[in-house]
Structure 1
Amino acid sequence: MTVGIDKIRTLCELDAIVRQRRALGERVVFTNGCFDLLHRGHTRLLQQARALGDLLIVGLNSDASVRLLKGPLRPVLSQDERAELLSALTSVDYVVIFEEPDPRCVIEALEPDVLVKGADWAKEEVVGRETVERRGGRVVTIPLVEGSSTSSIMRRIMEMAPPQHAES
């Protein structure tokens, strides 16, 4: 069993690992996201995703791709911090950081058997769906945890912060 930061791999390394594991008859599950300010919605999704196969690979948006998707103030945590947090979870077997705004290239390279997203995504809209289904795989959406999001955590933090007074 791989532990900690040893779980953070390049796409090339993961390609070899996936081939080996698939040769053993194991099912590969893939999900992806920004995972900024890890919360229980994230951990529940990852636990449920892991239960759908033998190997869970998490694609992590790089800092640059998060900024493109979420704006200049994000991510709160760097890609290295986010990758290390994800790698500490027992449900996660491997983490791969990708630079693009979406994980299409990772999905095409790894060809997972199961592609998982939160239920805020319609299955038809999930990036990589065609690649997975063409190989006989499936797309699974997992229910969201009400009130669990990075944005809601950030709002609560801002509400708790003392008001800033302008200097005279």
Structure 2
Amino acid sequence: MTVDVGKLRSLQELVAIVRTRQALGERIVFTNGCFDLLHRGHTRLLQHAKALGNLLIVGLNSDASVRLLKGPSRPVLLQDERAELLSALASVDYVVIFEEADPSRIIAALEPDVLVKGADWTKDEVIGRETVERRGGQVVTIPLVAGCSTSRIVRRIMETVHPQQAER
């Protein structure tokens, strides 16, 4: 069986797509994250984000940038696996992988109309806020789903597999 990863695009490809769609009057929504061990908190955020516009682009941290942000034991799933999982979601139109610790370069290039993050970020903390608002766009924070986090899932797995290690 062949897997369609047609949603995974380069930044250059996405810039062209975004400019065309914005010229048609469509609203482009952007969010980003590690999306390591995809869970319902992620899927709900992505569904809410998609509802804010016509096209949802997800910036995905590369394996190297996840390690930089989360430590040497992460990611659990490699970037190709995470990109494929995101691409399988109906709410996601495109995925772009970025190497940096933050998505500011991607946001500056894409110039989305709406920038979305989880409510664990205040609007003032959202990277790319100034870029988006300068163009008249908006920043939206989506409420978190209580108890949903990759770190919590990893802890539960460790408690199940290695109960003594999880206590450390």
Q: Say yes or no: TM over 0.5.
A: yes
Question: Match for residue 87 of structure 2?
Answer: 87
Cα deviation, 1:32-82, whole Å, max 9, x if unaligned, reads 000000000000000000000000000000000000000000000000000
Deviation at 1:4, TM superposition (A): 3.7
The residue number in structure 1 matching 2:34 is: 34
Q: TM-score, normalised by structure 2?
A: 0.94
- Work out whether 1:73 is the aligned partner of 2:73: yes
Amino acid in structure 1 at the alignment position of 2:40: R
- Kindly report which structure 2 residues correspond to 1:1-168, keeping only aligned pairs within 5 A, or say none: 4-163=4-163
Report the secondary structure of 2:35's partner residue.
coil
Q: CA deviation at 1:125?
A: 0.7
Aligned counterparts of 2:89 and 2:7: Cα–Cα separation in 1: 10
Deviations 1:15-35 (A, max 9, x none): 010011111110000000000
> How large is the Cα RMSD of the aligned pairs?
1.4
**Aligned equivalents of 2:88, 2:162: Cα separation in 1:** 33
Q: CA deviation at 1:154?
A: 0.5
Secondary structure of the residue aligned to 2:37 is coil
Shift in Å, 1:163: 4.9
Q: Deviation at 1:129? A: 0.2
Aligned residue for 1:148, secondary structure, equals coil
Change (3 A) 1:163 1:52: closer
Shift of 1:162: 4.5
Q: Secondary structure at the match of 1:6?
A: coil
Residue correspondences, number: 163
Mapped partners of 2:99, 2:133: distance in 1: 24
Moved over 3 A (4+): none
Unaligned runs of at least 5 residues, structure 1: none
